[in-house]
Structure 1
Amino acid sequence: MVLGSDLRRGNGRGVATAAVLFLAAALTACSDESGGGETDPPIPSVEQSTSAEPSPTAPADVAAAEREVRENWEKFFDPAVAQKDKTAVLENGDRMTQVLDSFSGDQRGRQVKAVVEKVEFTSPADANVTYSLTLEGATALPGASGTAVEQDGTWKVSVKTLCALVQLSGNESPGPGC
């Protein structure tokens, strides 16, 4: 699927371009001086666990865990949320501040949000998350894959997910922690 291919909302090409520019500009602080070479950035995808049947070791309260994953995921990708609150819902957030600062630092980022479409638990502390990034309400990055982890009693966006988004910008070395 092509970024911003949801043309039903109108101005899909402009939205996709803005989203790509936002991600690239927001991550410039972590750029690799040696250059990239990729022409078409891939949709961020984190290796997900596969299981033919639901895990018998899913969280005790699946509905509550799913609700927390959705809330924290959307909080993490909400540009109106303070950096310290984002750090609290990012796996190892206290060690990921440089990458998070770069990811969240662009003014255009104030228009990008995430919509969680699906949460599938693979263990009591791990979940696969399917989500889309929107820009001004239009889908800019549909059907992206990520993971959530339960850490210190809280469901958080995984470092693997953040690093995959950072690498989407073509950055070979996104910073400490990735």
Structure 2
Amino acid sequence: MAAGILFVGAGAAGCGDDDDEGAEEPSPTQTTATESPAGNRPADPAAAEKQVRENWATFFDPRAPLDEKTKVLENGDRLQPLLQAFSGDQRARQSAAEVTKVTFTSATGAEVTYNLTVQGTTALPNASGVAVLQDNVWKVSVKTLCALVGQSGVEAPGC
């Protein structure tokens, strides 16, 4: 069921962002439970966590307009064709995510644990993704999107 959850497409191995090239991305089904050292977090962790949670919800909200999803996705302007391609997918229109934990790994990065739901039923519990600070906005990382898309093994532009 997880392979058909979201707008599933390309292989996650080809999905890197320019800032973390070569860095490993947690599997969307793998969770981490580490606490951030005091020096490895934003100046205002509470505000940053709030924005991560809000933007994650927006990105995975099936009712959110494409332009709003683009704003909360790392390099969203470049990935708009990918988002557009899947905006009509029925499974994507039925999917949502609830963030359960945010662990800052640096002042500009965070591991995010979330539950992915389809029609209100948890389909991918305790999934792991990454949020990145880009242009002073906490965004869903390209790696996270591509890891989800990659579960189906279909090629997708941008991943």
Task: Tell me the TM-score normalised to structure 2 length.
Answer: 0.79
User: 1:174 maps to what in 2?
Assistant: 156
Q: Which has the higher helix share?
A: 1
User: Any stretches of 5+ residues in structure 1 without a counterpart?
Assistant: 1-15, 32-42
User: 1:99 maps to what in 2?
Assistant: 82
Highest CA radius of gyration, 1 or 2? Answer: 1
Structure-to-structure mapping, 1:1-178, within 5 angstroms: 16=1, 20-23=3-6, 26-27=7-8, 44=28, 54-171=37-154, 173-176=155-158, 178=159
Deviation of 1:137 (Å): 1.6
Q: Hey, what's the Cα distance between the residues in 1 that align with 2:35 and 2:92?
A: 37
Question: Structure 2 counterpart of 1:66, which letter?
Answer: E
Q: Hey, what's the Cα distance between the residues in 2 that align with 1:45 and 1:104?
A: 23
Deviates more, 1:68-77 or 1:57-66: 57-66
Deviates more, 1:94-103 or 1:124-133: 94-103
User: Any stretches of 5+ residues in structure 2 without a counterpart?
Assistant: 12-26
Deviation of 1:108 (Å): 3.4
Task: Tell me the TM-score normalised to structure 1 length.
Answer: 0.71
Indicate if the aligned counterparts of 1:45 and 1:161 stay in contact, CA closer than 8 A.
Answer: no
Q: Hey, what's the Cα distance between the residues in 2 that align with 1:90 and 1:96?
A: 8
Identity across aligned pairs (percent)? 54
Return the structure number with greater relative CO, CA threshold 8 A, min gap 6.
Answer: 2
Q: Hey, what's the Cα distance between the residues in 1 that align with 2:88 and 2:126?
A: 24
Deviation of 1:20 (Å): 3.9
Question: Structure 2 counterpart of 1:175, which letter?
Answer: P
Pairs aligned (count): 144
Cα distance, 1:54–1:126 mapped onto 2, change above 3 Å: same
Deviation of 1:54 (Å): 1.6
Q: Over residues 82-123 of structure 1, what are the superposed CA-to-partner deviations in whole Å (9 max), with x where a residue is unaligned?
A: 000000000000001122223332133222100101000011
Q: Hey, what's the Cα distance between the residues in 1 that align with 2:134 and 2:50?
A: 16
